[in-house]
Structure 1
Amino acid sequence: MRKAVISLLLVSAVITGCGSAQRTSQSTASPPAGGAQPLTDAEQLRISDAQQRLIGTCMKRQGFEFWEAERLSLEESRTLGYVLDDVGWARKYGYGSRLRAKDAAARASNPNLAYRKSLSEQRRQTYDKALDGGVDVPVIAVEIPGGGTVRKQMGGCVAESEKKLYGDPREWFRAEKTAGHLRSLYVPRVLTDQRFSAAQKAWSRCMKKAGYVYKDPGASRQSAIAQSDRAAEPKVFEAERELAVADATCARDTDLRPIGEERESHYIAQLRDRYGEALDTHSRVQHQALDRAKKTVGPRA
């Protein structure tokens, strides 16, 4: 458990799995509240980078070395979600298999892991306590939409960094987990929505004309993921790129992303009676964190 926690805390939070791919302008990781716009990928990454900087400053103050995680570029860190409609990005990166391999290699070679391992047992315990409060640190828990409970340790430099960015870490944890897990409630509705289903069928027909037979973008993406362990091979990566370009082209030609985002907003709105306060808190605190992050680090190139 300790090894898993440390490994998680020492690596950068590179966005690779949620939202839409066309996200240099705007991210749909959470719905807007009170007229506030959702954060862009660049803005979310800036918060993540600021937290790394704050953790490092805190750890060095405790007498330990700390290296900020190796970062992918802003372009490489672009969010990939259900719909990919950025043809230029797809032509360059396919579905991002080589980027995921690059990120995984950076995580595996993170110097903080080797540094911690080099410490004596007693010194390692002190390191852990400085980082996240150690094994006896208080844990907060929150019930999430759809059922279940998630927990988080609250201590050390990690907690300090979150407090500096988000204010009350408990308030942020509750809002973040609630907003994030709402996907389990509205995504199934979007996928079965009549308008979105019609757009997916149009996408499938477009793909068939391009020489690919897939029911939806998820199936197309999954076929590429199945070959991702061979992405270093030129022919395999070229096939991934060609498929991703066809996928993105058809998504753009059928307006799949804007239709999906409109239906997503529709179903999220239906949840606001119960979860509106958490959504508004999530948006407000996230924007506050961005303002604080701008005072700590510059934008990612």
Structure 2
Amino acid sequence: MPTVVLAGAGAALGSWALSSSDDKPSATAPETAEALPVPFPEIDFSPDKQTALRQAEDRLVEGCMRDKGITYRVPNGSWKPDVQSNPYGLLTKSAASADGYLLPEESEPSPDPELPDRENTALFGTEAHQKSIPLPLGGEIAVRTDSCYNTAQDQLYGKDWKALRHTFETLSYDVVTQVEKDSRFTAAQRSWAECLRSAHYPVTTLDAMAPHAVKVLESVHGDAKATATVRKDLRAMAVQDAACQNRARLAEAVTAAQKDARNGVLRGARSTDLAHLRELRRHALDTAHRMSLDHEGNDLH
């Protein structure tokens, strides 16, 4: 089991000042989270792209409901883009200083609005129209073809998107597993751990950092003052984590190892599937952009 040992919630989480010139960013250090390596960027969307796609999907849902004779507005006041941590635990200094380890805020989830039966059925569909879609790697997913949510997603992304996205999410785990066993990655990870140990963070593996940060935050749940202090300390720890990753050239090691791992899983039909997924992604983003322009044009009239 990977382990990280940090001080208690009420104490400082360590010293994070390293003055060596080796801590300066390398020429190839990624500047944004989107520039960090991920197994399949085809299934990753930046917050801006997620927002554009969500707005397009909402308009398509509302159009589907109108076709069924129902006036409906998607309630999305509490919706936020789903910002995922890098699957390898990689950070940039700018993201680390702003968001730390993407720790959850203490807030109550907004309750789903209760809908009349007719609206609920139109939105979510019926069991009579439930269909199983087989997945290329085994298993299946169930969809209700009379659901306005399903109709909108098919219109925006294409009917093959769900199965293909699920397939490459599964393959992503395979790629990450292979990368984490690669000698280039393990050597860089050892250098990273040594860097953090010199800053008084006794760590062993990269993937332990964010989960441990969550546990530290949970330990002060309900105490607003302690939570604010811990968040500040964890953000500083994330900045040092990012600096040590840069010093150890972890992103470069991941990029090299990931290239070989991807080539290993993209055999036969998988390569064709990825090309199709890439085309569906491009079509969805183009559609969302066009719908946004049309919506802005209508607002001017």
1:210 equivalent to 2:211? Answer: no
| AA in 2 matched with 1:101 | E
- 2:49 corresponds in structure 1 to 43
1:79 equivalent to 2:84? Answer: yes
- d(CA) in 1 for partners of 2:63 and 2:277? 26
TM-score normalized with structure 2 length: 0.74
Larger radius of gyration: 2
1:127 equivalent to 2:137? Answer: no
1:161 equivalent to 2:166? Answer: no
Aligned residue pairs total: 255
- d(CA) in 1 for partners of 2:51 and 2:184? 33
Displacement of 1:249? 1.2
- d(CA) in 2 for partners of 1:178 and 1:270? 15
| AA in 1 matched with 2:156 | L
Question: How big is each residue's C-alpha offset from its partner over 1:232-287, in whole Å with a ceiling of 9 and x where there is no partner?
Answer: 51222122112211111111222212321332222111122231121111111011
Q: Find the residue that maps to 1:296 and give its secondary structure.
A: helix
Q: Find the residue that maps to 1:101 and give its secondary structure.
A: coil
CA shift in 2, pair 1:295/1:268, >3 Å: same
1:234 equivalent to 2:240? Answer: no
- 1:279 corresponds in structure 2 to 274
- 1:297 corresponds in structure 2 to 292
- d(CA) in 1 for partners of 2:234 and 2:289? 37
Q: Which has the higher contact order (CA 8 A, sep 6+)?
A: 2
CA shift in 2, pair 1:144/1:214, >3 Å: farther
- d(CA) in 2 for partners of 1:143 and 1:234? 44
CA shift in 2, pair 1:25/1:46, >3 Å: farther
Runs of 5+ consecutive residues of structure 1 not aligned to the other structure: 1-19, 117-122
Displacement of 1:136? 2.4
- Give the aligned CA root-mean-square deviation in angstroms: 2.9
| Residues 50 and 296 in structure 1, CA contact (< 8 A), matched pair in contact too | yes
- Which segment is superposed worse, 288-297 or 136-145? 136-145
- d(CA) in 1 for partners of 2:241 and 2:184? 19
- d(CA) in 2 for partners of 1:295 and 1:152? 27
| AA in 2 matched with 1:269 | N
- 1:114 corresponds in structure 2 to 113
CA shift in 2, pair 1:59/1:261, >3 Å: farther
| AA in 2 matched with 1:143 | L
| Residues 21 and 80 in structure 1, CA contact (< 8 A), matched pair in contact too | no
| Residues 185 and 250 in structure 2, CA contact (< 8 A), matched pair in contact too | yes
> Quick one: which of 256, 259, 282 aligns to 2:250?
256
Displacement of 1:69? 4.6
> Quick one: which of 38, 61, 68 aligns to 1:55?
61
- d(CA) in 1 for partners of 2:277 and 2:154? 15
> Quick one: which of 141, 151, 156 aligns to 2:133?
141
| Residues 144 and 177 in structure 1, CA contact (< 8 A), matched pair in contact too | no
| AA in 1 matched with 2:110 | S
| Residues 137 and 153 in structure 1, CA contact (< 8 A), matched pair in contact too | yes
- d(CA) in 1 for partners of 2:110 and 2:37? 30
> Quick one: which of 258, 269, 282 aligns to 2:263?
269
- d(CA) in 2 for partners of 1:138 and 1:273? 32
1:64 equivalent to 2:65? Answer: no
Q: Find the residue that maps to 2:132 and give its secondary structure.
A: strand
> Quick one: which of 183, 187, 190 aligns to 2:179?
190
- d(CA) in 1 for partners of 2:231 and 2:265? 41
Q: Find the residue that maps to 1:85 and give its secondary structure.
A: coil
| Residues 33 and 95 in structure 2, CA contact (< 8 A), matched pair in contact too | no
> Quick one: which of 99, 102, 105 aligns to 1:101?
105
- d(CA) in 2 for partners of 1:27 and 1:71? 27
Displacement of 1:31? 5.1
Runs of 5+ consecutive residues of structure 2 not aligned to the other structure: 1-29, 294-301
| Residues 21 and 84 in structure 1, CA contact (< 8 A), matched pair in contact too | no
| Residues 94 and 241 in structure 1, CA contact (< 8 A), matched pair in contact too | yes
CA shift in 2, pair 1:135/1:228, >3 Å: farther
> Quick one: which of 89, 102, 108 aligns to 2:95?
89
| AA in 2 matched with 1:164 | Q
- d(CA) in 1 for partners of 2:63 and 2:276? 28
| Residues 166 and 288 in structure 1, CA contact (< 8 A), matched pair in contact too | yes
- Which segment is superposed worse, 243-252 or 43-52? 43-52
| AA in 1 matched with 2:152 | S
- d(CA) in 1 for partners of 2:74 and 2:245? 43
